[in-house]
Chains A and B, each alone.
Chain A
Amino acid sequence: MSLSRRQIAADILDAHTRAQQARAYAAMPAAGPVSEPLALGASAVDHCLDGGLACGGLHEVRAELARDIGAAAGFALGLAGRAIQADRGGRRGIVWISDPAARIDGGGLFPAGLAQHGLDPESLTLVEPHDLQGAMWAADEAAGCAGLAALIFQIKGNPARFDITATRRLMLRARDSGVLALVLRQSGGEEASAAATRWHVSTDLSGADEIFERGVGAMRLSLTLERNRTGRTGRWSLAWNPRTRTFDHAAPHPNPSAHPLDRLPESFDRQDPPGAMGQVLDRRQDFGRAS
């Protein structure tokens, strides 16, 4: 009896000290070089973020469907490209760490595509550990490396091991070192994490080309800021300009959506959106029967 009581007392004391430590840490200014926020280039987004993304910190980029990985990777690489361009004190290079599970159906980066996206393929260091634990270790190491511009950690789904403790550790290390740490979550749901912002990226119809009517236009993505520590969230449609390496607001489509039923309504203006009703299924006609 007395033992368990002592145990409880110790637990309470432990919780107290931890809370104190957390408060002290929160009050402490970031040890690393206090850097300018990383502006995206699109005025409304930057305004919502009070000037831009916090450079030393963790941000999550989420793609709900596997086929959205292209748009999500494009957004994450755009942010990383901007971090390189900002050239904060001789930082160079992007480290791309991928969880082996994400590699199975996610494909790999294509250097020619990277170059057209406005990134030097040489600036990327690819790390492919043989399991998630190794990948998390590598992400921790990279987040703490002050010589690095950006870190992209690609994971698939919501593995239990990459929990709030792991994200908090990443967040703190990135805050101290000033690295822009991005978690690229492929086919993953919303999850509580220590990230400063969480973005839900999906693809958007490209604008028509003036020269070629039926042609495919430049990349355009629909971006939802689902969570923001500083409070405000929002939803935008952005285009990436690889030449200037900026995100611009996309011109509105003449025909907003050809299939309005294909997307579930998203409540983007609240921190805790209600869950989608039922399970999300591919509701399009079966191709074989339709033809």
Chain B
Amino acid sequence: MPSTRHLFGGLLGLVLCVSPLRAEKPPSPLRLIPAEADLVIQTEAPRQLVEAVLTLDYIKNLQSLDAFKEVLDATQTRRFFQMVAWFERELGASWPELLDRLGGGGAALAAKIGENSPALLVLQGTDEKALHKFADLLLSVIEQEQERQGSKERPVKSTYKDVQTVRIGKDFHAALVQGALLISNKEKALQRALDLAAGRDKKSLADNADLADAARLLPKGTLASLWLNMDTVRKQPGGEALYKTPRDPFLTIVLGGWADIASRARYACLGVVPDKTGLLATLRLPAGRIGMGPDRGVVCPPDGQPGSRPLLEPKGVLFSESFYWDLSVFWTDRIKLFGEKNAKNIEQFDENSGRFLSNFRFSKLLSQAGTYHRFVAVHQPKKGYKKQPKTALPAFAFVTEMRKPDELSKAMETLLRGAALIGGSQLGLRLVEEKHKDCNIVAYRFPEDREVKADVNDIRFNFSPTFVRIGNQFVFSSTQELARNLVDVLQAEAKGTDKGAAPTERIRLYPEGGAATLKTFEDQLITQTVLTSAVPVDEARAQIRKLIYLLSKTGGLTLETTYAPKEFHVDLRLRFTK
């Protein structure tokens, strides 16, 4: 098993070998990959990638968890480390240095999209002699493992145009050429790579302008990336219906903006950028709000306006989301978005909607609804009932900004009171009205002296459905307590200067709230640990508490979606420390 000493040694080795690497930059592995590949996963510096992950403090902390130790102590893991140590001995270098020698020129895995398609792995070394020795040793190890497992398959050596190749079974073909190790699941794919190496074939991915473009689109410091040819993706079954407008209403509502971007982008790329504090995974496509179809009105605000309002962060927050979504466009641009036939159906629905919407028209509600919406979930230990639910659930709320606050809030109140009257009578819901900081909070509470047969775990005491208007914001909350908190938060926000940021969707997971919620499920987590791994109860409890503690010390997870003028970004940021 590699120790901290090995890791520091590796880092030192890395520093020492930076100069020679610069001096003789090895050729790109992409030169050996046929141009028609649709998908490429690559890293230009495998060693840096591995070390960046292994040296993270958070990963080190995770290693102190018994569950993690158990994985490290597993037979297979132990054997893997033994194998690494053996390679180190045989090749006379530590594993970080070996990573440089064997893959310092980069590694790329490429594939065609589709069933039973070829895939090719290219590992470009910086030390051809070491790579040859490594390949020989690897082959012997595979042979020994095959024999141990009673497999009859053995490596078969042959040549393809003077280059030695090795086959094991039907799906493993390998060769060494120009200091690179090639492995493929198809013989023909391997031969194509060898043809490229010999200059018999000229069309490789190295000349693909889109790949170079993607490298520029991804942030600096990207250590691993994925590139996907969107032309091929669009030709997949079902693609035609998705990547066009007008399209099916359901697909438009769920995927509209994304589908528009995907229909225009030449490629999609994904980059992973680790640093000392955490990790960024970013998806980027070279198409943005410029040139966007009718979906633009739904998912992008007019130029100059924020993409989304600030995240709501009431006490105990564990999840917060803020996004832009202009519902009125679904009505005004219905023909462009959904097509004439679907638009007519929507119009028909609208004509009849007054019957079940207390005389309000569906189209009117859409037109009055606002564009900025937020959702928040909080850990809320006190539920406002004397009786406590046997399973505590987080409280949550949906907050929407109204275009015409007076009209819409009046309509919503009428609708909600009517629905509560009809639906709540069977459960005996009790209406509670409360004035909090000039806002009229309307809540419905379950009676505590009444049995509900179906609710054996008293789950209903997690809820007191509530609504309240705060200025131009309308709040639907699962509990009266959260609604009260949101009145405070939204009133403070109205007085502040922060009106939002560029991303049109922002999501954040809060470790403190998550840890507090996990704490309420501690018993269930302990039980699951005991039953899954047969550790004693006390040990399981200690493990879970440590895990919750570690979680509470992380910096959280954020996801942001941005429609830039010419680009589309989805950034997932994981912060390991606060």
B and A form one assembly: no
Interface residues of B (CB under 8 A from A): none
